Amino acid sequence: MNIVLASSDNIDPKDWVAPLAAALPEHHISLWQAGQARRDADIAVVWNPPPALFEQERALRLIFNLGAGVDALFRLPSLPANVPIVRLEDAGMAVQMAEYAVHALVRTARRFDVYEDQQRRGLWQPLPALDRAVWSVGVLGMGVMGARVAQMAAMLDYPVAGWSRSAKSVAGVRSYAGAAQFDDFLAQTRVLINTLPLTDETRHILNKETLRRLRPDAYVMNMGRGAHLVEADLLVLLDSGHLRGACLDVASIEPLPDDHPFWNHPRVTMTPHISAMSLRHESIAQVAAKVRRFQNGDALTGLVSRAQGY
Ligand code: NDP
Ligand code: OXD
């Protein structure tokens, strides 16, 4: 089969094309770049591909997204309507996401942020011991990422709940499902961790109405997408004291503009979309295994639902 790799980010062929070709020696692998002749590709392996890819390659039978979130693909008007899309499932990302969330959770609950400040001020001052019962964690999205985050927080004995479209059964995690249980989920949450995909239903789900429903002195983490959060609402709730802080891995505009208030806000921790990075070796192994299944006519996991948008 003819397989092309395409991304708007610069891809160094030796990083992706050569290892994918080594993993799939029976197929022809090449880098797709705008302005080059059509390849009559069967499969496109993409991350934020240039829109021209789908305008030119009209014979695609499968699109493989080199990430968990497919929102950027759905924004492309040229995306063909009937070609199946498969996204990365975990591939080493879930453990990173869980590590990121637990780091931020423990930092705020155990007051490491305060101890860092005390150290700078030369202050030797133990603070009261942690009472886990008052640090209820709520994870938005209980898919590959969210379930791992929730499990990890539950293993540290925090009270944990998860919210998803369908009910889940995860040890140590109370399940809330659907719009009908959303308010109850928020009302019992103090540390809100977003791992939802960005869809029409979840855009701006973190706004002043929803964030106000959290328990007082709440903390918000966003590792989903910047457009889940109404950033101005977060700032108002931080400044009014309803929220104690936020840890944000994603922003509505990335890279974050130079004059954005998040850069210098004393209670915002900002990271550059790194909570769970695509790992080349794991991603290529997953793509290669699925290409073989596809070629054999076997069912694929990780298929994206166009109706649900994830
Ligand atoms: P999954 O598809 O495995 O999980 C998505 C979860 O969200 C599911 O539990 C799903 O419910 C739930 N969900 C979706 N829509 C709704 C809704 N309207 N109401 C309630 N629940 C909903 O995705 P992943 O866990 O693999 O990835 C999730 C997202 O994490 C990605 O889309 C991406 O945006 C983000 N991400 C960010 C990274 C980063 O570095 N910042 C890295 C990787 C991912 P159900 O199970 O019932 O279908
Ligand atoms: C992803 C991401 O969706 O890196 O995989 O954000």
What does the pLDDT look like over 193-245, one tens digit per residue?
999 999 999 999 999 999 999 999 999 999 999 999 999 999 999 999 999 99
Cβ-proximal residues to 230 (8 Å cutoff; 6+ apart), any chain:
204, 206, 207, 208
Is 27 a catalytic site residue?
no
User: Which ligand 2 atom sits closest to the C-alpha of 93?
Assistant: 5
Cα 68 to ligand 1 centre (Å)? 8
Using 50, 70 and 90 to split pLDDT, how confident is the model at 20? Answer: very high
User: 247 with 267: CB under 8 angstroms?
Assistant: no
pLDDT of res. 191: 99
Cα 75 to ligand 1 centre (Å)? 17
Q: DSSP secondary-structure letter at 85?
A: E
**202-220 exposure pattern, b = at least 16 Cβ within 10 A, e = fewer:** bbebbbeebbebbbeebbb
pLDDT at 14 over 90: no
Residues of the chain with pLDDT > 90: what percent? 96
Q: Is the peptide bond between 216 and the residue preceding it cis, with omega within 30 degrees of 0?
A: no
pLDDT of res. 9: 84
- pLDDT tens-digit series, residues 100-128: 999 999 999 999 999 999 999 999 999 99
pLDDT of res. 254: 97
Cα 91 to ligand 2 centre (Å)? 11
- Given the residues 87, 215, 225, 228, select the one marked as catalytic: 225
- pLDDT tens-digit series, residues 126-168: 999 999 999 999 999 999 999 999 999 999 999 999 999 999 9
Q: Which residues line ligand 2 (CB under 6 A)?
A: 67-69, 278
- pLDDT tens-digit series, residues 263-293: 999 999 999 999 999 999 999 999 999 999 9
Cα–Cα distances (Å) from 57 to 8, 43, 104, in that order, read 16, 10, 43
Cα 2 to ligand 1 centre (Å)? 30
> How far, in Å, CA of 262 to CA of 193, rounded?
18
Reduce the DSSP state of residue 154 to 3 states and report it: helix
Ligand in closest contact with the CA of 283: 2
pLDDT of res. 273: 97
Q: To test the ligand 1 pocket, which listed residue (66, 90, 165) has its Cβ within 8 A of the most ligand atoms?
A: 165
> How far, in Å, CA of 198 to CA of 204, rounded?
9
- pLDDT tens-digit series, residues 46-81: 999 999 999 999 999 999 999 999 999 999 999 999
Q: To test the ligand 1 pocket, which listed residue (93, 183, 196, 198) has its Cβ within 8 A of the most ligand atoms?
A: 196
Q: To test the ligand 2 pocket, which listed residue (64, 93, 222, 248) has its Cβ within 8 A of the most ligand atoms?
A: 93
Ligand in closest contact with the CA of 226: 1
Sheet holding 268-270, edge to edge: 173-177, 160-164, 137-140, 191-194, 218-222, 243-248, 268-270
pLDDT at 295 over 80: yes
Cβ-proximal residues to 208 (8 Å cutoff; 6+ apart), any chain:
230, 233, 236, 237
Cα 254 to ligand 2 centre (Å)? 13
Residue carrying structure tokens 């639902």: 305
Q: What is the pTM of this model?
A: 0.97
Is 38 a catalytic site residue?
no
